[in-house]
C-alpha cells in the first residue's frame, strides 16, 4: 500500500552564498568613487587652476592625478571590504569609523584647494587626513594585513600630496 502523505513545503531558496559580502564591496566602491565624483564636481576647473599655480619643479603633471586617484580609491574600497569581513565586530566598527573620517577629510580637500583656493586650509585638512589615514592603516593592520597593505600606496601619495600642498601654499600666498 502506497503512502500518500503530503510532501513538506520546500523552504524558500537561500540567498546565493556570499551575496552580502559582495553587496558590502559594492557599497565601499560606491562610497569611494562617490567621493571621487563629488571631488570632480567641486573642482570642474581643477586643470586650469593647477596650471595657473606656481608649482615646485617636482610637481607632477595634471594628467597624472586622475589615474592615480582612480586606482587609490579602488584600493581604499577593497581594503575596507576586507576589514568589514572580519569577525571582531568591535574592532571592525572602530576601523570603519576611522576609514569614514579619512574619506570625509579626503572629500573636503578638493573643494578647499581647487574651488575655494584656500591652500592653507587645504593643508590643514590634508594633515588631518594624513593622521586619520595613518590611524586607519594601524587599525586595519590589526584585522587584515592585506587591507593595511592596500592602504600604503594611498598613505604614501597623501604624504607626497601634503608636501605638494605645502609648497603650493608657500609659492602662492
Q: What is the CATH number of the domain that holds 136?
A: 1.20.1260.100
- Residue 43 is assigned to a structural domain of this protein: yes
Domain that holds residue 119: 20-171
Q: 84 pLDDT exceeds 80? A: yes
**Lowest-confidence segment of 39-48, 64-73, 76-85, 158-167 by average pLDDT:** 39-48
Half-sphere exposure of 42 (CA within 13 A, CB side): 18
State percent of the chain over pLDDT 90. Answer: 79
- Residue 12 is assigned to a structural domain of this protein: no
pLDDT tens column, 105-156: 999 999 999 999 999 999 999 999 999 999 999 999 999 999 999 999 999 9
- Residue 112 is assigned to a structural domain of this protein: yes
- Residue 61 is assigned to a structural domain of this protein: yes
| Other residues' Cβ atoms within 10 Å of the Cβ of residue 108 | 19
Helix (H) or strand (E) run with residue 41 in it: helix 19-42
Q: How far is residue 84's CA from residue 82's CA, in Å, rounded to a whole number?
A: 5
Q: What total number of domains does the chain contain? A: 1
- Residue 8 is assigned to a structural domain of this protein: no
- Residue 124 is assigned to a structural domain of this protein: yes
pLDDT tens column, 12-43: 444 445 678 899 999 999 999 999 999 888 77
- Residue 122 is assigned to a structural domain of this protein: yes
Nearest to 82 by CA among 133, 163, 137: 137
- Residue 80 is assigned to a structural domain of this protein: yes
Angle 9-15-19 (CA atoms, 0-180°, nearest 5)?
A: 175
Q: Are 112 and 51 in contact (CB under 8 A)?
A: no
Nearest to 110 by CA among 71, 67, 150, 65: 65
Q: 90 pLDDT exceeds 60? A: yes
For residue 1, what pLDDT band results from cuts at 50, 70 and 90? low
C-alpha cell at 137: 592603516
Quick one: CA dihedral 29, 103, 132, 157, positive or negative?
positive
Nearest to 84 by CA among 73, 96, 76, 72: 96
pLDDT score at 20: 80
pLDDT score at 60: 96
Amino acid at each position: 500500500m502506497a503512502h500518500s502523505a503530503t510532501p513538506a513545503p520546500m523552504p524558500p531558496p537561500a540567498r546565493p552564498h556570499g551575496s552580502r559580502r559582495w553587496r558590502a564591496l559594492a557599497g565601499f566602491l560606491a562610497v569611494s568613487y562617490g567621493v571621487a565624483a563629488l571631488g570632480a564636481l567641486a573642482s570642474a576647473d581643477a586643470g586650469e587652476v593647477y596650471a595657473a599655480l606656481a608649482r615646485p619643479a617636482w610637481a607632477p603633471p595634471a594628467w597624472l592625478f586622475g589615474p592615480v586617484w582612480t586606482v587609490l580609491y579602488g584600493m581604499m574600497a577593497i581594503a575596507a571590504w576586507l576589514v568589514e569581513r572580519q569577525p571582531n565586530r568591535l574592532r571592525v566598527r572602530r576601523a570603519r569609523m576611522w576609514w569614514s573620517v579619512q574619506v570625509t577629510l579626503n572629500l573636503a580637500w578638493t573643494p578647499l584647494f581647487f574651488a575655494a583656493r584656500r591652500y592653507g586650509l587645504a593643508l590643514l585638512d590634508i594633515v588631518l587626513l594624513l593622521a586619520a589615514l595613518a590611524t586607519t592603516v594601524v587599525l586595519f593592520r590589526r584585522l587584515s594585513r592585506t587591507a593595511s597593505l592596500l592602504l600604503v600606496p594611498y598613505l604614501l601619495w597623501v604624504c607626497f600630496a601634503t608636501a605638494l600642498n605645502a609648497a603650493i601654499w608657500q609659492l602662492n600666498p
